[in-house]
Structure 1
Amino acid sequence: MVHRMRLMMRIGRSFVSILFTAMLASPAIAQTYTVQAGDSLWKIAEKTKAHDVTVHQMIAAIHENNSALLGADIGNIKPGMELAIPSQTAASNASSKHATQLLSGTGSPFSTPTRNTRIDSIQKKISHIENEIEDTIEALTTSQDSFDAMVTP
């Protein structure tokens, strides 16, 4: 029984060692994204980012990976373009400040965001305000129901 346990442990260690070596030896597969009609860099970043990477970091990393293609204007994307999507590590190391500058056009030599980027930003703000209004209406309705229950004999 003890001999069998030792053998199983050696096999397990060998498997892990082989697996680890194979992972290190295989090159990282570069991901690409084909720009679709209506895409903005913000939308692409949201679609392709890892859960622990912010949209701003992903925007900065995508821009950095594709700066020769995109130039200074992050809105310079067109349907059919193939964008190189950065690895999770590269995206998590990207500067959120750089993305903020890209999006706002302030404090950097980059041009201002395009119409689509501004529309996306406004739509996000509207969506946030709509959610706040719905929450407020729900709270007021609950308060009104409680008040009515106290007043009604």
Structure 2
Amino acid sequence: MTISMYSASIPVCIRMLKNLVGILEKGAGHCRENDIDESVMVGARLFPDMFPLARQVQIASDIVAGLEPDAVEDNEKTFDELIERVRNVIAFLDTLEPEQIEGSEDRPITFRLRGADVTMAGQVFLLNFVMPNVYFHITTAYDILRHNGVVLGKPDYLGRF
């Protein structure tokens, strides 16, 4: 069985980003219900040397959209702004057609990683860089909110089938 580049990426990323919107909405609700300044939650980290919630969302959305780290301003300070950012990426992904991505398995992709240019074939890039990063940063956003008392469970992360 083979799976297309489109099927392995776009629907999966859209689903995960929609789940992230739900997770962020629960975070916003938790702040409202418990009279918590949402800037505290948006700036929360799991550990001092890790990125805060806002940056986790920004990185996940940049990677999915295929954006360079400096291509979009990272100035979101509220849940509403983070949710809007993610929804904008979902809207962009919804415009993509399979034929725009198919055949990219062997196309060389060059990107900056820790100050160096790295080149990978499209499929290797998707499976070994893009998807793991999407899952990592969405999981970390989930973990930050859960660690700070937001009632979340596995169904929030996985979504409905």
What is the TM-score normalised by the length of structure 2? Answer: 0.23
What is the TM-score normalised by the length of structure 1? Answer: 0.24
